[in-house]
Structure 1
Amino acid sequence: MVALAGCSGAQTPLDPWGIQAARIAELTHVLFIGGTVIFVLTMGFLAAALLAPGRVRERIGSRRFVVGGGIVFPVVTLAALLVYSLGVSRALTLPLGPAPLRVEIIGRQYWWEVRYPDLGAGAVTANQLHLPVGREIELLLTSADVIHSVWIPNLHGKMDMIPGRVNRQRLRVDRTGVLRGQCAEFCGLQHSIMAFWVVAQEPAEFDAWVARQQAPVPPPADEEQARGMQVFGEAGCGACHTVRGTEFQGRLAPDLSRVGSRLSLAAGALDNHRGTMAGWIAGAQDIKPGNAMPAYGRSLEGTDLLAVAAWLEALR
């Protein structure tokens, strides 16, 4: 059971959730099986050469056997595996349909900006990718600073994100659930804490999510939330963050319009609830040193930190 623990779960290429990942998993199995067969045969011939009776060793050492087993067999076998691998690689780039849903993902130090240009203004989130089940998706991948690499093991292989260039990756998710993606290219101090969640939804549920994203956020529901919104503005948070339907329209940091509904904070560094929200605002540099978020633990009172966290938690 321990040996099979990595064969399923929210971040493994051996548990494919889509056709592209299934092709990659099949390629993996074929190459492992092929390599194993070659290794076993080689070790078998080595054992025979060392331990077998003299006549057998003479046959193994004959020119015909050396040419057949040492040249013809590996050339034919490896060539077949190469042709098969190239065929799978080409299949991964072929479109499944004429009109995929485009999703822009921009890698930043150290978080992910996600936009849905086909769905109109307001369809923006951060560190969480929502996808409709059964529909082909085209990821438009780029970077705003250094080279990153996006990897959702259950859906596809790795793809680099290069400043000034847009790389494209097509995929499809075939079942609902939650998966984990990761930056797979060292991009700085907090590279290891640069993850995101992939939420695969039925089309109707996905459409409802998009509608919520596009709608202005509701007004504060009580005095504490109103105070939190006020402190958010007074502390200058709106210069970096956007909260749709308010005066806060910053573009330097994650869009917080529906941050309360996200599964994590700080690109997978923390679970998302009021306590971790307040802790992140107070000590972002202690939790994730080197990120662009300043720490407000010394400039804000504890009640104000909790008020801001209460307001942001209510943005769902």
Structure 2
Amino acid sequence: MATLLSVVPRMEFLRRIATGVALGAPVLLRSAELPDTARPAGVQAARILDLWYLTLAECGLVFAAILLVLTLAIWRGARRAGPPSTDEAAAHAGRSKRAVAGATAVCAVLLAGLLAADVWTDRLLSRIPTGDALHIEMIGHQWWWELRYRGADGRVVFAAANELHIPVGRPVVISLASVDVIHSFWVPNLHGKKDLVPGRASRISLRADRAGVFRGQCAEFCGLEHALMAFSLTAAAPGDYAAWEARQRAPAPTPATEDAKRGERIFQASNCAQCHSVRGTQAAGSLGPDLTHLGSRSTIAGTLPNEPGLLAAWILAPQSFKPGTSMPSSRLPPDDLRLLVSYLGTLQ
């Protein structure tokens, strides 16, 4: 990698990396199930889908009835030989009034039924048992997601970024907050939308009933990189989730190779440690994502595949991938960059 960075000019290197990202985008999309409200993976999404089908059925029947009445009126008008007499016109007006009154009453009943179904669905969504729930705090930033997993005592036991992991079959209570603008949490396969309003606490409860990786998205325009403010939600079997959680609770592993040790020193001496934290080291920054287990994540910044070349490109010029991001560019010598990426790769 040092040879690559020293031979290829930086801008040409970044251009090639950007091309690779464009070609690799389908791989990222295949790694997570595409957002689809018609394929619910949890009880709340299933209830919302039922409400949608009911609404679609009622609206479809009303539309079909309107078309039928309109067609009948045109057909009868075409068959009429001449203008109606006074008595016929009066009788027709009476029938029309009764028909309009009847149609209005039917529409009112249908709308009342939809309102009742909506209220009933909302109650069902909030009735999920949360006695043994997993508690997670999710904080929206421009433009990434901070995740804090809390223990039974309410204290934060570890942190992550952009990749949410939950166990299948267990309810999850997610406390939502924003530090800048209004964001919106949305995993279509599992639940509806929930806004994150600065200065206002909110929460959403959900449960995954089948394993999978589901794409989540900020559903409220939050600035320049709103489209790239995505996250993944991995629902795993309880045993697999417990193993993942145990790894996340552990501090960062001690570098084993000489390159990784030198890379750790570069990380501590550069501006990386001022913004990021790595548990088990002196790095305790809070402006950027926790990097304790960066190497175990599938993406960088929630959008790029977690590969050494792309990680190096992100460190060199994050604005090339997320214009407006608060992460500054790092002007590291090629060899230092190689060592830093080597160290970050050990954070499993």
Above 0.5 in TM-score? yes
Q: For residues 249-288 of structure 1, give each alpha carbon's deviation from its aligned partner in whole angstroms, at most 9, with x where no partner exists.
A: 1111100001111121112x21111111111101101110
- 1:219 maps to 2:254: yes
- 1:19 maps to 2:43: yes
What letter is aligned with 2:219?
Answer: A
Structure 1 contact 59–65 (Cα < 8 Å) conserved: no
Instruction: After the TM superposition, list the runs of 4 or more consecutive aligned residues in structure 1 that deviate by more than 4 angstroms.
Output: 57-61
- Aligned residues with identical type, % of pairs: 42
What letter is aligned with 2:206?
Answer: L
Given the alignment, which residue of 277, 290, 295 partners 2:324? 290
Task: Give TM-score, length-normalised by structure 2.
Answer: 0.83
Cα distance in 1 between the residues matched to 2:223 and 2:120:
35
Partner of 1:306: 338
Displacement of 1:234 in angstroms is 2.0
Given the alignment, which residue of 106, 109, 115 partners 1:82? 115
Cα distance in 2 between the residues matched to 1:132 and 1:265:
23
Partner of 2:204: 169
Cα distance in 2 between the residues matched to 1:60 and 1:202:
66
Cα distance in 2 between the residues matched to 1:81 and 1:112:
35
What does 1:39-54 align with in structure 2 at a 5 Å threshold?
Answer: 39-52=63-76, 53-54=79-80
Alignment RMSD: 2.0
What does 1:262-301 align with in structure 2 at a 5 Å threshold?
Answer: 262-267=297-302, 269-296=303-330, 299-301=331-333
Given the alignment, which residue of 7, 17, 35 partners 2:59? 35
Q: For residues 81-140 of structure 1, give each alpha carbon's deviation from its aligned partner in whole angstroms, at most 9, with x where no partner exists.
A: 111111101211123242321111011111111111126544211111110110111110
Q: For residues 141-178 of structure 1, give each alpha carbon's deviation from its aligned partner in whole angstroms, at most 9, with x where no partner exists.
A: 01112111111111111101112221011110011111
What does 1:56-95 align with in structure 2 at a 5 Å threshold?
Answer: 62-69=96-103, 71-95=104-128
Structure 1 contact 131–201 (Cα < 8 Å) conserved: yes
Larger radius of gyration between Structure 1 and Structure 2 = 2
Cα distance in 2 between the residues matched to 1:128 and 1:144:
19
SS at structure 2 position matched to 1:79: helix
SS at structure 2 position matched to 1:116: strand
What letter is aligned with 2:41?
Answer: W
Given the alignment, which residue of 88, 99, 105 partners 2:132? 99
Structure 1 contact 27–88 (Cα < 8 Å) conserved: yes
SS at structure 2 position matched to 1:123: strand
Partner of 1:203: 238
Q: For residues 6-40 of structure 1, give each alpha carbon's deviation from its aligned partner in whole angstroms, at most 9, with x where no partner exists.
A: xx943111111100010011111111121111111
What letter is aligned with 1:223?
Answer: E
What does 1:182-261 align with in structure 2 at a 5 Å threshold?
Answer: 182-261=217-296
Q: Which runs of 5+ in 2 are unaligned?
A: 1-31
Task: Give TM-score, length-normalised by structure 1.
Answer: 0.91
- Which protein, 1 or 2, shows the higher relative CO under an 8 Å CA cutoff with sep ≥ 6? 2
Cα distance in 2 between the residues matched to 1:19 and 1:244:
36
User: Greater helix share, 1 or 2?
Assistant: 2
Q: Which runs of 5+ in 1 are unaligned?
A: 1-7
What letter is aligned with 2:147?
Answer: V
Structure 2 contact 277–284 (Cα < 8 Å) conserved: yes
- Alignment CA distance shift 1:60-1:36 (3 Å): farther
- Alignment CA distance shift 1:61-1:313 (3 Å): farther
Count of matched residue pairs: 304
What letter is aligned with 1:158?
Answer: K
Displacement of 1:65 in angstroms is 1.7
After TM superposition, the structure 1 stretch with the greater mean CA deviation from structure 2, 94-103 or 199-208, is 94-103
Displacement of 1:49 in angstroms is 1.1
Displacement of 1:64 in angstroms is 1.9
